[in-house]
Structure 1
Amino acid sequence: MTNPLLEMTQIQKSFSGVQVLTDAGFSLESGEVHALMGENGAGKSTLMKILGGIYRKDGGRVRVSGVEREISDPREATGLGIAMIHQELNLIPHLSVMENLFLGREFVFGRTGWIRWNRMKEEAKKWLEQLEMDLDPSVKTGDLSVGQQQMVEIAKALSLEAKILVLDEPTAALTNREIESLFNVIRSLKKQGVGMIYISHRMEEIFEICDRITVMRDGETVGTRVSSETDMDELVRMMVGRKIKNRYPRNPVMPGEERLCVEGLTRKGEVKDVSFSIRQGEIVGLAGLMGAGRTETADLLFGVRKPDSGTIRIDGHEVRIRRPEDAIRHGIAYVTEDRKQEGLVLPLSLRENLALPNLRSLSAWGVIHRQKEARLTEETVETLSVKTSGPEQEVRTLSGGNQQKVVIGKWLATSPRVLILDEPTRGVDIGAKEEIYRLMDRLAREGLAILLISSDLPEVLGMSDRVLVMHEGRITGQFDKDEATQENVMKAASGGEV
């Protein structure tokens, strides 16, 4: 029997005396796609960072192609044929696509140091074409969409011609078409003998593309299953230690008076004549493909962008929103798509992040009332079940699900009447997803009007009372819950008649 391509056994790791990994193991065969699953904080990322040379293990063994290795830094990992595609993009925005692809390993003329730009452009184009990307390699990376940047990250990893490829939430920002292109590349790499470790919270993808599934919980490996011999219920029980009875816990309610009314909202080149309303206690889903104008619409409602025309009414009264401060004053809260870049100040503490949009209510004469601030922090941690070591913990050290709870919590503290949730469960594990869904349902029952923007179509259909669909900046479909099928929504999202 041949040795596995990768074998990690009894891996241990602690930080400042806190044991993060106690008995973690993982194996990978050549030409295999092996999923690594578990709730946020289970230890998946720590285990992969040990493999990538970012962290040094405290105990255990790592074997690559049957040879035991001590991987001391990322350069050594790269030399062993290990490439990682991180959930957080590691591209330099002011550099071109080809400069990012070959950063630190540029093509040069002998010892002159002069860069061979034409050769680099040709090589970059080759790797981009493998991902079916029609993209100019000389374009600045910062000018690309998040989805395009993710594909550039993947192309960069492919260009390393790795034997072991770690993909951490690779489809989180991709369109359906981009996901299919990525899956085609994965199938091609399997045939070439590349072993891939696939980390994702999207169950449907796991069963479509992965051969085996390993589950971690609380720093330990719980078990490994063959994909074709298990199901979603078993994996959930392994991950959270309990059965989740209802994936989308939305209780039917009788909506109240109209809370938000939008008429003719327009911004040139982005949003065209968008009109809709949301009533008290109603969750309205906003679906569409990437670039359809969903986030741009949310930005206009919150004053991040200025409209060319259109009216916004809250509880029947027309309001003028030219900046986020206006939106907050009129009772609109906005949980943005990218929590790390736009939703949180990562070096600040949990307490400080919760206080940021609430400084007016927490202070008097420019001085923050510490008791009020402490009470807000304590109530948010308790109400949203935020797992933290204390109010002074930096939010960047929290798991993804707990970071998202902090973002939601800071806005709920503003006592909003309208809550905009843009991709609220992206990169969040299944246990935290359930908690966010239950929170949404409770907030709606308490009379909040919620606009749910999501690329996860089952999520939109499962949690929404009505569904709006956008295509090229316009609303092309409106469906009641009974009419909102995947077929109808995707048809409207593609610009077809429904």
Structure 2
Amino acid sequence: MTGARPPLVEAIGITRRYGPTVALLDAGITVETGESHALVGRNGAGKSTLVSVLTGLTRPERGTVRYDGGPAPALADRAAWRRRVACVYQRSTTIDELSVAENLFLGRQPVTPRARVISRRRMRQQARALLDEWGVPVDETVRAGGLSVEDTKLVEIARALSRGTRFIVLDEPTAQLDSRATDRLFAHMRRLQEAGVTFLYISHHLREVYEVCQAVTVLRDARRIVTAPVGAMPPGKLIEAMTGERGGLPVPPHTAPPPRPFGAAGPAAGPAAGHAAVRLEQLSSPDFHDVSLSVAAGEVVGLAGLAGSGSHQLGAALAGLHRTSGGRAWIFGRPLRTGSVPAALAAGVGCLPRDRHHEGLVPLLSVAENITMPISGRLGPLGLIAPTARDAVARRAIADLGIGTEGPAQPLNELSGGNQQKVVLARALAIDPRVLVLIDPTAGVDVGAKRALLAAAIRARAEGRAVLVVSDQLEDLRVCDRVLVMFGGSVTAEYPAGWRDGELLAAVEGVAAGDG
């Protein structure tokens, strides 16, 4: 229509490759002024790359980006980009040691007219006015590090608005929020929309799409599949667009090798495969409640759930990385003291943690030192480590897992991400565990490393170990004998091997696969 207002932002025909990997292929999105527009797709669909293009952090090889009908700024003109778009990431970008006011005006603090020094009084006044204007109930004088996750996000939104932007990308904004904080965030978004603010909303929680968004774009395999009003995409149709198959793809027939008793290739001692290796009764913490489950020796059980479901914290609790507040846990019939890594190791629990950078690695140490860290006391007399014994253990692990390294002495930080992940798994296996907990085992690794990591889970099952795979990635869960789904802190469903993609994804998202 002549005179019609152009879209706030429009990306057309965007293609971006990273080496042989195609991140986006002729993809795009159109966001209208004043709407909340959801961007959804499974991991690897291209969402992050598209956001990088829309925020001027990545230059596409082909395609165009337009704001308000005009061309996007040059990549070097960061001030122009900040006036058009801002991104509030899952991890906060505020500086904990600075006050809220200092974070709001970092790099553009008001100064006194004559001395040209920072005027803290004026900065506090301007911060208070800004927070009041946008309805952010936060004290401008408090340290940012003392804010709740919810308030931190509101401060980041206010900071973006103060620069003039009215288009804000929210990347998994509720990942660390409880239901009440999520409701408050949504109420704030609605107020901002009424004031003319536009949101691009990225989330794996499909229920949130229906609660807060008016339009949705689905990416799959680097391409845009559909853009439509949310009302035209009921859950069943949305899941179909994300997975590419009506009702999801059936998993190939599951053929688990017959488990054998513990022996030379497995843990040194323990009951025969098939016995209850892990048993939880009404285990609770601030992140999950009244969870009861069991894992048999020689069984791989999947625990599927999105951020906020409690699945990652439950897996971490078994490994001593998360403290529980109630209930009981047993490992092969013996009580397990949760919240204690030494107690978990003594019970025979090995763990590949969720965040290898903060919980699994010492980058400046060698491959051998990282692998043998939990068994260093066994590698020589009187607590002294014999380098030959240490390197022998490392060489076996390098060969077993196919770790790409120059040798045991190579510094860990020189390895690729996939090989670092294999080293973390090797460290978990070094204790000869009876129970193996793998939390997001293939996150951020390439296809070859994924294959090796999941093959290790299958080998552990054949050796009679109990394996718990905590992940929301369907590829990780295909190796499992059964999959438990967590939502809202509870186990809500169980699926035997042979589940369909759409059915399991719907349970993880908390919606019914057959809706729509």
What TM-score do you get using the length of structure 1 for normalisation?
Answer: 0.66
**Cα distance between partner residues in 1 of 2:229 and 2:284:** 50
Task: Note the C-alpha offset of 1:358.
Answer: 8.1
Identify the residue that residue 365 of structure 1 maps to in structure 2. 389
Cα deviation code 1:387-433 (max 9, x no counterpart): xxxx96425999x9941788995995888658595xx54xxxxxx2x
Superposition map of 1:358-437 within 5 A: 365-367=389-391, 368-370=393-395, 372-376=397-401, 393-394=416-417, 402-403=442-443, 417=466, 419=468, 424-425=471-472, 432=473, 434-435=474-475
Deviates more, 1:231-240 or 1:194-203: 231-240
Q: In 1, Cα distance between the equivalents of 2:190 and 2:29?
A: 21
1:183 matched residue in structure 2: 186
Q: CA RMSD in A?
A: 5.1
Are 2:348 and 1:331 equivalent residues in the alignment?
yes
Output the amino acid matched with 1:62: V
Can you list the C-alpha shifts for 1:200-219, whole angstroms capped at 9, x where unaligned? 11111111211111111222
The 5-angstrom pairing of residues 51-90 of structure 1 reads 51-73=54-76, 75-90=78-93
Q: 1:263 to 1:60 in 2, by over 3 A?
A: closer
CA separation of 1:277 and 1:8: change in aligned 2, threshold 3 A: closer
**1:216-231 superposed matches below 5 A:** 216-231=219-234
Shift of 1:180: 1.2
1:7 is paired with a residue whose SS is strand
Contact 2:42 2:220 (8 Å CA) reproduced? yes
Pair 1:299–1:211, CA change in 2 (3 A): closer
The answer for the alignment partner of 1:32 in structure 2 is 35
| 2:488 alignment partner, one of 451, 457, 467 | 457
**1:237 corresponding residue in structure 2:** 240
- Check if 1:315 corresponds to 2:354: no
Residue matched to 1:494:
none
Structure 2 residue aligned with 1:99: 102
Please tell me the residue identity of whatever aligns with 1:457. Answer: G
Cα contact 1:258–1:277 (8 A) shared by 2: no
- Label 1:52 to 1:285 Cα distance change in 2 as closer, same or farther (>3 A): closer
Q: 1:163 to 1:312 in 2, by over 3 A?
A: closer
Q: TM-score, normalised by structure 2?
A: 0.64
Distance (whole Å) between structure 2 residues aligned to residue 59 and residue 111 of structure 1: 50
How far apart are the structure 2 equivalents of 1:194 and 1:15? Answer: 33
Q: Quick check: 208-217 or 295-304, which moved more?
A: 295-304
1:181 partner SS: helix
CA offset digits 1:278-336 (Å, max 9, x no partner): 5445989999x99x999999877644588999997533335667852441341335576
Give, in whole Å, the separation in 2 of the partners of 1:165 and 1:130: 17
- Which residue of 2 is the match for residue 192 of structure 1? 195
CA contact (8 A) 1:213 1:226 kept: yes
Q: 1:109 aligns with which of 112, 137, 142?
A: 112
Is this contact kept in 2: 1:346–1:394, CA < 8 A?
Answer: no
Q: Give the deviation of 1:21 after TM superposition.
A: 1.9
Percent identity, aligned pairs only? 28
Structure 2 vs 1, CA of residues 215 and 124 (structure 1 numbering), >3 Å: closer, same or farther? same
What amino acid maps onto 2:43 in structure 1? Answer: N
Larger of the two Rg values belongs to structure: 2
The 2-side partners of 1:69 and 1:9 are apart by: 12
Greater mean alpha carbon deviation, residues 56-65 or residues 99-108? 99-108
Q: How far 1:49 moved relative to its partner?
A: 0.8
**Matched residue, 1:9:** 12
Map of 1:214 onto structure 2: 217
C-alpha displacement of 1:70: 3.9
Query: What secondary structure sits across from 2:57 in the alignment?
Result: coil
2:481 is paired with a residue whose SS is helix
The answer to whether the Cα contact below 8 Å between 2:82 and 2:163 also exists between their aligned partners in 1 is no
Distance (whole Å) between structure 2 residues aligned to residue 33 and residue 72 of structure 1: 25
Q: Look up the SS of the partner of 1:188 in the other structure.
A: helix
Q: Distance in 2 between matches of 1:30 and 1:108?
A: 35
Code of the residue aligned with 2:417 in structure 1: it is: E
User: 3-state SS of the aligned residue for 1:91?
Assistant: coil
Contact 1:54 1:73 in 2 (8 A): no
Q: Give 1:353 deviation, angstroms.
A: 13
Q: Residues 276 and 36 of structure 1: is their aligned pair in 2 closer, same or farther, counting only changes over 3 Å?
A: closer
**Distance (Å, rounded) in 2 between the aligned partners of 1:33 and 1:306:** 38
Q: Quick one: structure 1 residues 365 and 345, their matched pair in 2 at CA, closer, same or farther if it must change by over 3 Å?
A: closer
Q: Aligned pair in 2 of structure 1 residues 117, 217: CA closer, same or farther (>3 Å)?
A: same
Query: What number of residue pairs does the alignment pair up?
Result: 420
The 1-side partners of 2:291 and 2:489 are apart by: 22
> 1:203 aligned to 2:203?
no
1:460 alignment partner, SS class: strand
Instruction: Describe the shift of the 1:72–1:179 C-alpha distance in structure 2 as closer, same or farther (beyond 3 A).
Output: same
Which secondary structure state, in structure 1, belongs to the residue aligned with residue 491 of structure 2? Answer: helix
Q: Secondary structure at the match of 1:42?
A: coil
How far off is 1:94 after superposition? 2.9
